[in-house]
Amino acid sequence: MIDASALGGRALVDVAVSKARFRKGRSRVGVIGLGYVGLPLAQAIATSGHSVLGFDIDPTKIEILAAGRSYIRHIDGAGLAAFRAQGRFDATTDFSRLGEMDAILVCVPTPLTRQREPDLSYVAETTRQIARTLRPGQLIVLESTTYPGTVAEVMKPILEQGGLISGRDFFLAYSPEREDPGNIDFATASIPKVVGGDGPEALRLAMALYSEVVQHIVPVSTIETAEAVKLTENIFRAVNIALVNELKVVFDAMGIDVWEVIEAAKTKPFGYMPFYPGPGLGGHCIPIDPFYLTWKAREFGLSTRLVELAGEVNTAMPRYVMARLGEALDQIQRRGFNGSRILVLGVAYKKNVDDVRESPALSLIELIEGRGATVDFHDPFVAQLPPMREHASLHGRRGVSWDEALAGHYDAALIATDHDGLDYAALADAVPLILDTRNACHRAGVQRPHIVKA
């Protein structure tokens, strides 16, 4: 980390003018990608007093926002509508308007290919769109999670093709998103913002913008450092989740409850941080980010053995859960998968959100149905499954209501996501077998002989 006040050099005229504009709230900020990262960011920018224009290729999102509604549960549609009425927020599919922006923040997907290699097609295409209207003085910031070197190797060459030079004519920066949907303690404005720039002027300008939006800025020395920060945060979580997932398998074989172990271990006031097992990894970061680093490390002739092993452990968890369900069906129900009716409880990747990206529940549904069972799902936040690249066959499937779930005469229920507010006691009364991958029943005070932890 560096001290921004110690940055030497004399700011360019455009930087000084832009900084003043940002601080007076007279700038226009564009946010590309109005998903779980971009829409909360746009909301925070509008809240700070700046004018923000959101860009997205999906016309349905634009129509929903124009109608004063939100398609993300924790984003207040009425608040966005109020900002829109005040002229501080709008959304469009017209990327030719990027030239009107003083700053452009890129929040597009960075998924993996089927070969588990980085797919930067969204970043590259978005950068080409920006390049078409790029003008002197603009600040371009990538927020999407990626490997160190993406801004310098992918974005910068595209943007400089027209003759403008980064650090002289326009300014490049990277600031990793740190959104945590469903977290009531931290929102966009209260999460410290890491910022790295392509040169000191770009860093100063990016800090001037973000200091208007968030409470605390963490400047770092280079863009590559900022890119590495995000990977480090999520790889740390992925490795530790893999550890407790592996301990779960080992302790289960020994007849030891891993959840009880963790609860006791976390009473130590130092040297231990609790992580919890589950049916696999989900979300837009933790299942993906480690593979970005392993891919980039090969360029330097290096292997990331611990990171790759953690990925193998976490990726294997849905199959482990399916095997445990099969064992429980055999032991308690005296039947196998074929012809069984299974209820999957929760398809969001984490509790109390409506985001199903990379959710292990989707893999579980496909695996269980592949064994001949019939699967329904209930999720209070997900009524219907959206289009998904990895689970195309599940697109459009609708969940059952809670009443239907309790009266569905299922042979077993599999708790994949532990949403709050559900009546786990009623579930235990209605279903003869529960496989609980989240310890949800125990935490709710529900303990029955037919509840099996996995």
Cβ atoms of residues 314 and 285 within 8 Å: no
The pLDDT-based confidence of 371 (bands split at 50, 70, 90) is very high
Instruction: Return the residue matching tokens 């509604």.
Output: 69
The residue that leads in pLDDT, 20 or 63, is 63
| 188-192-196-202 Cα dihedral, nearest 10 degrees | 70
At 42-72, the pLDDT tens digits run 999 999 989 999 999 999 999 999 999 999 8
> pLDDT for 392-420, tens place per residue?
889 999 999 999 999 999 999 999 999 99
The domain in which residue 177 lies consists of: 4-222
Q: Is residue 137 part of a domain?
A: yes
**200 and 328 belong to one structural domain:** no
Question: Up-side HSE of residue 224: CA atoms within 13 Å toward CB?
Answer: 7
Confidence of residue 17 (pLDDT cuts 50, 70, 90): low
Asked if residue 257 and residue 209 are part of one domain, the reply reads no
- Per-residue model confidence as pLDDT tens digits over 232-284: 999 999 999 999 999 999 999 999 999 999 999 999 999 999 999 999 988 77
How far apart are alpha carbons 68 and 87 in whole angstroms?
A: 13
Q: Please state the separation of Cα 416 from the chain's center in Å.
A: 18
**Distances in whole angstroms, Cα of residue 130 to Cα of each of 168, 418, 425:** 17, 41, 54
Q: Residue 245: how many CA atoms within 13 Å on its side-chain side?
A: 24
Same domain, 218 and 240: no
Domain count, the chain: 2
94 in a structural domain:
yes
Q: What is the pLDDT of residues 419-429, one digit of tens each?
A: 999 999 999 99
Split at pLDDT 50, 70, 90, the class of 74 is: confident
Does 130 map to a domain?
A: yes
Q: Do 114 and 214 reside in the same domain of the chain?
A: yes
Q: Is the pLDDT of residue 5 over 80?
A: no
Mean pLDDT calculated for residue range 328-347: 94
List the beta strands (DSSP E) in 14-102.
28-32, 51-55, 89-92
Q: Do 148 and 246 fall within a single domain? A: no
Whether 24 and 142 map to the same domain: the answer is yes
- Are both 205 and 315 inside the same structural domain? no
Instruction: Give me the residue label for tokens 């005040």.
Output: 86
| 171-174 vs 89-92, strand pairing mode | unpaired
Does 75 score more than 60 pLDDT?
A: yes
Sheet with 434-436: strands ordered across: 374-378, 341-345, 412-415, 434-436, 451-453
Specify if 231 maps to a domain.
Answer: no
State the pLDDT confidence band at 113, using cuts at 50, 70 and 90.
Answer: confident
In a domain, 230, yes or no: no
* pLDDT of residue 367 exceeding 50: yes
Q: Cα separation of 229 and 289, whole Å?
A: 11
The answer on pLDDT for 315 being more than 70 is yes
**Is 437 a domain residue?**
yes
DSSP 315-336: HHHHHHHHHHHHHHIIIIIS--
- Give yes or no: residues 45 and 70 share one domain: yes
- Residue 14 is predicted with a pLDDT of 58
In the prediction, which pLDDT does 112 show? 87
Is 285 noted as a catalytic residue in this protein? yes
Q: Which of 197, 222, 247 is the last residue of a domain?
A: 222
Q: Identify which has the larger pLDDT, 389 or 381.
A: 381
pTM confidence score: 0.90
Concatenated DSSP letters of 347-369: -SSSTT----TT-HHHHHHHHHH
Write down the pLDDT at residue 94.
97
Lowest mean pLDDT among 13-22, 227-236, 292-301: 13-22
Q: Looking at 170-265, which runs of residues are DSSP E strands?
A: 171-174, 193-197, 217-219
212 and 251 co-located in one domain: no
Q: Is 192 left (phi over 0), alpha (psi -120 to 50) or beta?
A: beta
15 class by beta-carbon count within 10 Å (0-12 exposed, 13-18 middle, 19+ buried): buried
Mean pLDDT of 111-127: 92
Same structural domain for residues 136 and 48?
yes
Length of the chain: 454
Confidence of residue 180 (pLDDT cuts 50, 70, 90): confident
Last residue in a domain, options 222, 257, 291 = 222
On whether residue 385 sits in a domain, the answer given is yes
Q: Which CATH number goes with the domain that contains 400?
A: 3.40.50.720
Tell me what the pLDDT averaged over the chain comes to: 92
Please tell me which of 66-80, 178-192, 424-438 the model is most confident about, judged by mean pLDDT: 424-438
Residue 124: count of CB within 10 angstroms of its CB? 15
Give the start-end residues of each E strand in 330-430.
341-345, 374-378, 412-415
Same domain, 204 and 271: no
**Domain boundary residue, one of 164, 187, 222:** 222
Q: Evaluate whether residue 228 is within a structural domain.
A: no
Please check whether residues 318 and 203 belong to one and the same domain: no
What is the pLDDT at residue 234?
A: 93
Which residue in the list 44, 108, 139, 285 is annotated as catalytic? Answer: 285
